[in-house]
Structure 1
């Protein structure tokens, strides 16, 4: 099931082309910084995966810069 949610691209922690690398970096980031829940999302261009804080998700775009992302994993 596809879950699309809006994020401001400027809020991303990292942008990575490889999904497995994005998951690995997200896990490391969360462990090292004791971060809140993170999500791995596929970008609107279908070329990159971005790591965001789950709390930054927007059901409806609040800003002109918010773009739809497809949630692939929650950490």
Structure 2
């Protein structure tokens, strides 16, 4: 089940067109920073996957934030 959440696009760690590549890069980044939970999210343009820190998520839209669909949690 997908979850819609809001992020500021400027807060993304990486933007990648391939889902599997986004997951691999997220896992590598997670290994380096074990204390931070990450999410892989499909962008509002439906073309890219973005990696965000889970703590940067907002339930309601704020200034500069856009809706993303959570695809994977790390």
TM-score (norm 2): 0.95
Rounded Cα–Cα distance in structure 2 between residues aligned with 1:41 and 1:35: 19
Q: Which runs of 5+ in 2 are unaligned?
A: none
Structural mapping, 1:50-69, within 5 Å: 50-63=50-63, 65-69=64-68
| Structure 1 vs Structure 2 CA RMSD | 0.9
Rounded Cα–Cα distance in structure 1 between residues aligned with 2:2 and 2:52: 17
Q: Which runs of 5+ in 1 are unaligned?
A: none
**1:34, distance to aligned residue in structure 2 (A):** 2.6
Determine helix, strand or coil for the equivalent of 2:60: coil
Number of paired residues? 74
Determine helix, strand or coil for the equivalent of 1:58: coil
Rounded Cα–Cα distance in structure 2 between residues aligned with 1:18 and 1:12: 15
1:70 aligns to what?
Answer: 69
TM-score (norm 1): 0.94
Ranges of 4+ aligned residues in structure 1 off by more than 2 Å: none
Cα offsets for 1:32-68 (capped at 9, x unmatched) = 23340000000000000000000000000121x1000
